[in-house]
């Protein structure tokens, strides 16, 4: 190695050490720019899964990884949908298998995922002019738990790519509020299933 490099001073670790807590985010209000609540994929890569993976395999993978949702990609790595742990654990896969006349093992992630056009979306350049409260109102009116954020794709002029995600659950935790779209218990039956941990 170059003579310009010097070894760092080291010391022995004595006793038990407390692990540092992550820096706490400052309190947010509904008046803050919506971009402050976006999960930016430039900073934190998303968890992904291929659409041709079986639901049975996805169930195992998502449980082991302890992730509530994954972005679904095709063979080219392009974003084609979102799959949640609730989807793979619930009755959606069974209903799909029944409708297609196949076994549950033949149902793939792409068969039960939610597609991009099922979510509200916005270009990242507009987020600075949108308040968190505006996003909250969008969640309260739309039957969705996620908000997609896109940006221009510099490698493909005229096209966009997924830049980030805004989660209603994250907003609820950060603002200490309840969003109407979170519950989704529209009937007494839904409420009973939610209480007992069952998902449709």
Tell me the pLDDT of the chain (200 aa) as tens digits.
566 888 788 788 777 777 776 655 667 889 999 999 999 999 999 999 999 999 999 999 998 888 889 999 999 999 999 999 888 888 888 899 889 898 888 999 999 999 999 999 999 999 989 999 999 888 888 878 899 999 999 988 999 999 999 998 888 888 887 766 444 433 333 433 433 444 44
Q: Which residues sit opposite 148 in a β-bridge? A: 121, 165
H or E element in which residue 167 lies: strand 160-167
For residue 121, what are its two tokens? 């979306």
Backbone angles phi, psi at 86, to 5 degrees: -60, -35
Mention every residue, 6+ apart, whose C-beta is less than 8 A from residue 182.
Answer: 139, 145, 168, 169, 172
For residue 168, with 0-12 CB atoms within 10 Å meaning exposed, 13-18 middle and 19 or more buried, which class applies? buried
CB 46 within 8 A of CB 167: no
pTM of the shown model: 0.75
């Amino acid at each position: 190695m170059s003579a310009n490099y010097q070894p760092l001073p080291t010391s022995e670790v004595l006793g038990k050490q407390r692990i540092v807590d992550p820096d706490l985010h400052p309190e947010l209000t509904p008046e803050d720019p919506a971009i402050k609540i976006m999960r930016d994929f430039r900073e934190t890569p998303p968890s992904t899964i291929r659409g041709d993976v079986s639901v049975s395999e996805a169930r195992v993978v998502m449980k082991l990884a302890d992730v509530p949702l994954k972005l679904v990609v095709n063979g080219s790595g392009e974003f084609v949908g979102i799959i949640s742990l609730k989807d793979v654990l619930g009755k959606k896969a069974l209903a799909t298998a029944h409708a297609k006349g196949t076994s549950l093992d033949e149902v793939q992630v792409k068969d039960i995922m939610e597609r991009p056009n099922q979510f509200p979306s916005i270009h990242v350049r507009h987020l600075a002019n949108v308040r968190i409260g505006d996003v909250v109102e969008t969640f309260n009116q739309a039957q969705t738990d996620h908000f997609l954020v896109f940006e221009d794709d510099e490698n493909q002029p005229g096209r966009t790519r997924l830049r980030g995600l805004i989660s209603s659950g994250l907003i609820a935790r950060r603002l200490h509020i309840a969003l109407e779209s979170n519950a989704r218990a529209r009937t007494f039956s839904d409420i009973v299933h939610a209480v007992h941990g069952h998902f449709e």
